[in-house]
Amino acid sequence: MEQVERSHYKEKIDKNSTIKFEALDSRILSKVIKVIKRNRESIKKIEKLMKNCIPTLEEQNQMYLKGANNRNLIKKSR
């Protein structure tokens, strides 16, 4: 097992080439976990917003039909 020491964490490389990080200081590890949790929460919020913003296929069809209908009405009125 190959070990590389860094300033804040130890990096262990196993034979099956997976990298594991062991924090030398528990405070650093807790900060890393907080950042990861915050990122996950923000990603979930963004996904929710995206779901609300992006119209479904049916909504897209309805909007297209409304637009086509409006264009036809404009052409007829001229």
pLDDT of residue 44: 86
Give the integer Cα–Cα distance in Å for 66 and 60.
10
Tell me the pLDDT of the chain (78 aa) as tens digits. Answer: 445 455 455 555 555 555 555 555 677 777 777 888 888 888 888 888 777 777 778 888 888 888 877 777 777 776
Please say whether the beta carbons of 28 and 36 come within 8 A. no
Burial class for 12, CB neighbours closer than 10 Å (0-12, 13-18, 19+): middle
- Give me the pLDDT at residue 1, please: 42
Residue 36's nearest CA partner among 58, 21, 55, 15 is 21
Query: Model-level pTM greater than 0.85?
Result: no
